[in-house]
Amino acid sequence: MSYVYHSVPEKMIGHNLVPLNIMRQKHHELFTQYSKKYEGRQEILNRHIPLLDCFWSDVVQFSPVHPSKIFELQKSLGLIRKMPIYQYFEIDTKLFNPEKAVVYFKSDYGEENIKFMWLKDIDLSLISEVPQPTIDYYKTFIGTGKLPLNYQFIPHILYAGTIDTSASKIITI
């Protein structure tokens, strides 16, 4: 089985993870809360996803990298003092409709460094480690007292639709 990860939302209605645009229509208060992470970079919400012919705000994002690897790396670099306590859904990719799931790769800054591939064409084990561009990015924060974006340059699994989490395991790191 192949798994991807999504943080368990602080507030969630029902068992479905939903894209921001669905939240905007059905649960505006949740949309307001969860869109705050894009403050100062709202243009990302309008990023076009060519294979799915939709926008970033029309998909749910998942990480193929186990969250403990991300935070253990940050701890080893001195960016955080102790491991945070977070909960994540561990989602089996068999729940995804293959025609609605792509992998977003960004290897550096700039739109020219972005590519999309169908999830069904990717071996997830090949993208389950923290990539070197992310490690290099994290290192730029050493000694600054600032925290990096946790998933910068980590491939993202983008799913155009909702995902029922009721059968998914919740892991705590």
Q: What is the pTM of this model?
A: 0.91
Strand partners of residue 90:
5, 169
Report phi then psi at 148, rounded to 5: -80, 165
Per the structure, the count of domains in the chain is 1
> Which strand (E) or helix (H) includes residue 43?
none
Q: In what order do the strands lie in the sheet with 60-62?
A: 60-62, 156-159, 101-106, 114-118
- How far out from the chain centre does Cα 55 lie? 15
Of how many residues is the chain composed? 173
Q: Which domain holds residue 25?
A: 3-172
Q: What is the pLDDT along the chain (173 residues), one digit of tens a residue?
A: 799 999 999 888 889 999 988 888 887 677 777 777 878 888 888 899 999 999 999 999 999 999 999 999 999 999 998 877 999 999 999 999 999 999 999 988 887 789 999 999 999 999 999 999 999 999 999 999 999 999 999 999 999 999 999 999 999 99
